[in-house]
Chain A
Amino acid sequence: MSQHRVIVVGGGLAGLAAAVRIAEAGTHVDLFSLVPVKRSHSVCAQGGINACNEVARQQGYSEYEHFDETIYGGDFLADQHPVLEMANWAPRIIDLLDRMGVPFNRTGEGNRDLRLFGGSLFKRTHFAGATTGQQLIYALDEQVRRYESEGKVFKHEFQEFLWPVMEQGRCVGIVAQDMRTMHIRAFRADAVIMATGGCGLVFGKSTNSIICTGAAAARCFRAGAWYGNPEMIQVHPTAIPGADKLRLMSESARGEGGRVWVPRKAKDPRAPKDIPESERWYFLEEKYPAYGNIVPRDIATREIFDVCVNQGMGVYGENQVYLDLTHKDPEYLTRKLGGILEIYEKFVGEDPRFTPMKIFPAVHYSMGGLWTTYTKGSYNPQTALTKHKSGSPAPIDAKVGQGMQLGAVNNSMTNIPGLYAFGEVNFAYHGANRLGANALLSCIFDGLFCGVSVLNFIRNEAPGKNPAVDLPAGAYDAVVQQETAKMKHLLDGAKPANQDASTNPYMIGKELGEEMTAACTVVRTEARLKQCLGKLAELKDRYSRLRLADGASWTNQSFGYARSVGDMLVLAEAIALGALERRESRGAHYRSDHTGRDDGNFMKTTLARHANGVTAVEFVPIDASLILPTARTYGKKDSSPNAAAAPAMASAAS
């Protein structure tokens, strides 16, 4: 083993994949996580993981088409080369997971089964029941446990990342706090990988786990890391409303034949089974005959939102539509979707195999994140090609290294040398909208592919000559002092008698979530976003006078939450600012006062920077040299509740 150490912050798919890759190369990994890594938010991913496969390939599909779908699905906002490399790697990643023992669903012959997912006409989604994320993270958790047993990985669980440590212009470690003992200390490293996921809690209730505050990313942002496309927040079309969170109903429910509908008569009081077929409005199937219910997420979300909020056609007059699987064989549903249907039954009390589910959109995923860079690979056509025609031969094969150069030290590195961002916490792959079942892929791809870049960085760049272990203690001590002072400030005067709601962290967090959900989700306008920024300023002011009810110096959970609220406020401001300045509509970002896509001004990355407490955004060019942008319509047609009954649902290309 070398004397080098790498810190991985976050034990979800991206973090674990990175840890495995780096540990197997003989470099020591310190893995930090708020929770035992097996409980990370990746467990919530349900539907599957996309990759070109042999069946689809023989029907005309290719890695290149997967790449093209991802760019088109993301509404041409992503830099294109990294996406190409990810699509080319996808089949290899599935094979690796298969070797690790992931119980992928199987066909009669014992091959990996496939399902249809949003944004594709080919079956290219691999799955393990309806808990694919859980199964993938368990496989990686097991591999990490193996390296932990061999002493190559050390897990620091229940440790909260507080701040990166910078010295000589590069990141040389972190400061973290034990959530139980409250002890704050510095950890040295030759490179730090942030793999800390999304920021759903900024919106209060979302489909995210309770730990997905985005605080870790916000702290890097505050420390000088750039943030890309903060306004690109995916609102998932189908979630189950709840008092504590909005639980995801996987896109696979639609992929397996689920039909979205409302009664053609507003506020129809009848039970769904009593409404005949001709009096049901299958609005997605009517408006999008080619894709039907499997249109991408932002489109499905806006259509559901429009039907309920603008047209007042929601089921029983409330903000909800039916997601109906009752026409399918119950045994088939149990086999293919058992896990997610069980969640619905458990939390709503109705069996979706016999009663249509009632669902509504919820904040789900952050396409935006810490800004990262890369080195282009060998595929650089003289002119960008027109959009790929589905099922036609691919212009290139799937050789590794065409999209990104394998091992280049800057792949998925932030603007701070030595500080990397992997998985949902970066902005790299999904543009303005993520396709279903591409998230798990991007996490594992980052870990495996860019993990090699981290290894090369510590060998060949500054840490090679000047490892962190030899650096002076000054920079580390300074950050420990900064964080200790921050804690003292928050805990000062904390006592149960504090009861002013305006300075209660939970109230500030709740109001933040409500405001962001109202102003920054499905439909955005300049006026509302400006109002939102005003509200954020008010919340920041109240936050500065925050009073805690618990002053304990042992396992003080409300203190941890309160500190995160301060970071969420910073991230919220970047989201609202990006949404305000992006005066167009693209992917998940829909401005009712600027409904068209404006490639001339905004086919650019929103780059947010934070300095001296002030966030500013600008738009910087992207590299779109592989595919020319086209209108992203998914073949939309007109439809209204009074039109004739819907045509049959479009079938897959298979």
Chain B
Amino acid sequence: MTATAQTPRRTATPDRTVTFRIKRCDGPGKPSYWQDFRVKVPKNSNVISCLQQIAAEPVTAGGERVTPVVWDSGCLEEVCGACTMVINGKVRQSCSCLIDDYAPADGDVITLEPMSKFPVVRDLWVDRSRLFHNLARIKAWVPIDGTYDLGAGPKETPASQATHYVLSTCMSCGCCLEACPQFNLEEDRDQWDSSFIGAHAISQARLFNAHPTGSELKPDRLDVLMGEGGVNDCGNAQNCVQVCPKHIPLTESIASIGRQVTLHAISKFFRG
């Protein structure tokens, strides 16, 4: 949010019909195909409410009755990350994609595609398990002594909290990976540990390295991030930071981890 009053939105035509051009796929290994659906959009519509209408009555623009479109969604408030897809060529959450903004005039077209960097499960639903696998690789957790009552955690200044809170709002949606030229589709799990780990994981490493208890695992994290597929694979395209829906300073995180990795490498060299 900016600190000034917002500019009014364009006025959308009421009771208009919008065409959804959807890239479909019946399952892994099956060919993709496109189908158009015409949806009459009421006030306050978003891509999810239109997909719900299509699911209830799946008839193409050509009048053919087809199977309902499959997609992934959860909270519908842009806080769970599930409903991420490529809309008009740009990756984003579909729940916060308002039709008034994207298709204000009668007959406007909105294209929906699954993310291309993850294997398609069906239609718009993709398998993002590699994203979570990469969080495990960098040990994205605070190694506490257990759940017993051991008193409070470390104190923290409001400024430090503000920095960490933003990093901690990463919802693992995968936008930064879809937009990254270095992160590519990899269906072979055996290749995951040597392929680029991605901005989201690097940023989480920064978060946990900065935590007094979390820093206990900093050497382990930096070992992973200085290796193959680590921070040095970043091509500095800076697409990640532009598409992050939570405005996480991903390029700052990459720079910070880059410095940490350099220091870690030097210190390892002298320690032998």
Within B38-73, the residues touching A (CB, 8 Å) are 42-46, 48-49, 52, 55-58, 64-68, 70-71, 73
Report the nearest A residue to B71, measured CB to CB. A557
Complex Cα distance, B6 from A350, in Å, reads 7
Report the minimum CB–CB distance from B174 to chain A (whole Å): 11
How far is B64's CA from A211's CA once the two chains are assembled, in angstroms? 30
Does the CB pair B153–A95 fall under 8 Å? yes
How many residues of chain B get a CB closer than 8 Å to chain A's CBs? 78
Q: Does A497 contact B (CB under 8 A)?
A: yes
When C-beta atoms are compared, the residue in chain B nearest to A550 turns out to be B67
State whether the Cβ of A621 lies closer than 8 Å to any Cβ in chain B. Answer: no
Using Cβ atoms and an 8 Å threshold, which residues of chain A touch B108? none
- In the complex, the answer to whether B136 meets A106 with C-beta atoms within 8 Å is no
As a 0/1 sequence over residues 481 to 514 of chain A, the CB contacts with chain B under 8 angstroms (1 = contact) are 0000000000000001101000010110010000
Which of B77, B125, B160 counts the most A-chain CB atoms under 10 A from its CB?
Answer: B77
Residues A99 and B150 in contact in the complex (CB < 8 Å), given A131-B169, A343-B77: yes
Q: Mark A18-62, 1 if CB is under 8 A from B, else 0.
A: 001100100000000001101111011000000000000000000
A44 adjacent to B77 (CB under 8 Å): yes
A-B contacts at CB below 8 angstroms, number = 228
A138–B80 CA distance with the chains assembled, in angstroms: 11
Distance in angstroms between the alpha carbons of A557 and B124 in the assembled complex: 12
Judging by beta carbons under 8 Å apart, are B46 and A243 in contact?
Answer: yes
Count residues of chain A with CB under 8 A from any CB of chain B: 87
Comparing B137-145, B231-239, B253-261, the segment that makes contact with chain A is B137-145
Q: Is B81 an interface residue (CB 8 A)?
A: yes
Please state if B75 and A550 are interface contacts (CB–CB under 8 Å).
no
Main secondary structure of the interface of B (DSSP, over half): loop
A557, B70: Cβ atoms closer than 8 Å: yes
Judge if A303 is at the interface, Cβ distance under 8 Å: no
Whether A131 contacts B79 in the complex (CB less than 8 A), given A99-B150, A243-B42, A496-B67, comes out as yes
Task: Give the docked Cα–Cα distance between A108 and B160 (Å).
Answer: 11
Docked-complex contact A135 and B96, CB < 8 angstroms: no
* B153 near A101: Cβ-Cβ < 8 Å: yes
Instruction: Say yes or no for B193: interface residue by CB 8 A criterion.
Output: no
A–B complex contacts, Cβ < 8 Å, 8 sampled? A41-B75, A43-B75, A101-B211, A105-B165, A128-B165, A135-B168, A248-B77, A338-B1
Beyond A99-B152, A355-B5, 9 additional contacts (C-beta under 8 Å) are: A99-B142, A105-B158, A106-B161, A131-B169, A149-B136, A209-B74, A245-B76, A349-B6, A354-B6
Q: Which 8 residue pairs across A and B have the least CB separation, nearest first?
A: A110-B155, A506-B56, A98-B153, A142-B141, A244-B49, A243-B49, A555-B122, A496-B65
Interface residues of A (CB under 8 A from B): 20-21, 24, 35-36, 38-41, 43-44, 92, 94-96, 98-101, 103-112, 128-129, 131, 134-135, 138-139, 142-143, 145-146, 148-149, 157, 180, 209-211, 241-245, 247-248, 330-331, 334-335, 338-339, 341-343, 345-347, 349-351, 353-355, 448, 496-497, 499, 504, 506-507, 510, 549-550, 552, 554-555, 557-558
